[in-house]
Amino acid sequence: MKSRTPPADNRTVSLRANSASSIRALSTEQSLLANTSIKALDTLNSIAIVHSIHRQDSTVSQAVAAVLPQIAKVVDAAVKSLRRGGRLIYVGAGTSGRLGVLDAAECPPTFGVSPDKIQAVIAGGERALLHAAEAAEDDAALGARDLAEKNVDSRDVVIGLSASGRTPYTVGALRYARSRRAFTVAIACNSDSPLEKIARIAITPLTGPEILSGSTRMKAGLAQKMILQMISTAVMTQLGNVYQNYMVGVRPTNAKLVARACGIISKITGASERAARATLQLAGNDVRTAIVMLRRKLDPEKAARLLALRSGNLRKII
């Protein structure tokens, strides 16, 4: 399938929103030194610096708590999307983009979901994961083109990540997603942003000024990471990839994960570690199949068929 050409209004996004004056007006760009209780970092020793950072980081949870209803709505939308064959796609630049890539990359080994179901698009491509590609974030047309390569449609949920809420690359990408009738979401740390105006749902944790002024990889980044983990974990739970509080979709691809998988099987079934390990091998290293084998006294083939009938949801079986 060929990718679709982005609409004309995505080819240019004015950079006036990123002028020096407009950037300085953002809450995430303000200086904490206006607060008389905050001391200049370069006057402090190591323990005082880390205490200062920790005090600021401790406020992030409150900012995220204020947007939990919006997060839950996004979870519901993503569950609906994935159930009908759609995808959850994160898009962003810089730190925000890397956080999207991180969360998407961790879902397959943690939940056993196919990598094509939760994806990430980052300005500058794979090279931007290890090397700064900040110029790419100013290109709105590039954001639209990169998302067009994903053949986004109405079944998908696309989440635009930007601390400022005005990164041209992310704005262009989300605008394109909206033109394709995808379910659009903005996660930004400043209110009334261009990204928020495009999105169907806006998640806006107001984390405020950074202890290192303007370094939104800190509190803003922490808030975005928390929110992404909430979304993906809640979505995977709703889809049956979690049983009780156990990650039963885990893929045991190394010694640590094999041990973790055997522990999960033992806790859920009451089997010994030895029995859990043997059953896991018979189940082709599929944790859920092993659990069904032990709980329902079935051979691997019958256990796998039963799981398939229940869309892999252990709660419906045991």
Active site residue 137: yes
* Two tokens, residue 280: 């896991």
- For residues 130 and 266, state if they share a domain: no
Are residue 220 and residue 275 in the same domain, yes or no? no
Query: Among the options 106, 196, 210, 273, which is catalytic?
Result: 106
Confidence (pLDDT) at 8: 45
- Residues 225, 230, 236, 241: is their CA dihedral positive or negative? positive
Q: What is the pLDDT of residue 12?
A: 43
DSSP-based three-state secondary structure for 202: strand
**Which one of 238, 270, 305 terminates a domain?**
238
- The predicted pLDDT at position 21 comes to 54
Query: Quick check: is 3 in a domain?
Result: no
From 29, 126, 134, 137, the catalytic residue: 137
- Write down the pLDDT at residue 272: 96
Q: Is the dihedral of CA 31, 46, 129, 101 positive or negative?
A: negative
Is residue 228 located within the same domain as residue 264?
no
Cα–Cα dist 13/68, whole Å: 31
Residue-range definition of the domain harbouring residue 269 = 255-316
Specify whether 185 is located in the same domain as 307.
no
In this structure, the answer to whether residues 262 and 162 fall within a common structural domain is no
Whether residue 95 is found in the same domain as residue 171:
yes
**Residue 249 covered by a domain:** no
CATH number where 304 lies? 1.10.8.1080
Asked, for residue 31, whether it belongs to a domain, the answer is yes
Q: What is the pLDDT of residue 18?
A: 55
Residues 137 and 200 in one domain: yes
Compute the distance between CA of residue 279 and CA of residue 281 in angstroms, rounded to an integer. Answer: 5
Is the domain of 230 the same as that of 284? no
Q: Of 238, 269, 300, which marks where a domain is finished?
A: 238
pLDDT at 95: 94
Distance CA 290, CA 137 (A): 46
CA–CA separation, 229 and 47 (whole Å): 30
Count how many domains the chain has: 2
pLDDT of residue 104: 98
In this structure, the answer to whether residues 234 and 261 fall within a common structural domain is no
| Distance of alpha carbon 71 from alpha carbon 107, whole angstroms | 18
Please report the DSSP string for the chain in residue order. -PPPPPPGGGS---GGGGSHHHHHTSGGGSBGGGSTT---GGGS-HHHHHHHHHHHHTTHHHHHHTTHHHHHHHHHHHHHHHHTT--EEEEESHHHHHHHHHHHHHHHHHH---TTTEEEEETTGGGGGTS--GGGGG-HHHHHHHHHTTT--TT-EEEEE-SSS--HHHHHHHHHHHHTT-EEEEE-SSSS-HHHHH-SEEE-----SBSSTT-TTTHHHHHHHHHHHHHHHHHHHHTTS-BTTB-TT----SHHHHHHHHHHHHHHH---HHHHHHHHHHTTT-HHHHHHHHHHT--HHHHHHHHHHTTT-GGGT-
Read off the CATH number of the domain in which 132 is found: 3.40.50.10490
Reported pTM: 0.88
Question: Do 137 and 82 share a structural domain?
Answer: yes
How high is the mean pLDDT in each 10-residue block of the chain (318 residues)? 49 48 72 77 94 95 98 98 97 96 96 96 89 81 96 97 96 97 97 95 96 92 98 96 95 94 97 96 96 96 95 91
- 203 with 289, same domain: the answer is no
Last residue of a domain, one of 210, 238, 266: 238
Whether 106 sits among the annotated catalytic residues: the reply is yes
For residue 310, tell me if it sits in a domain.
yes
Query: Residue 61's CB: how many other CB atoms inside 10 A?
Result: 12
Same domain, 67 and 140: yes
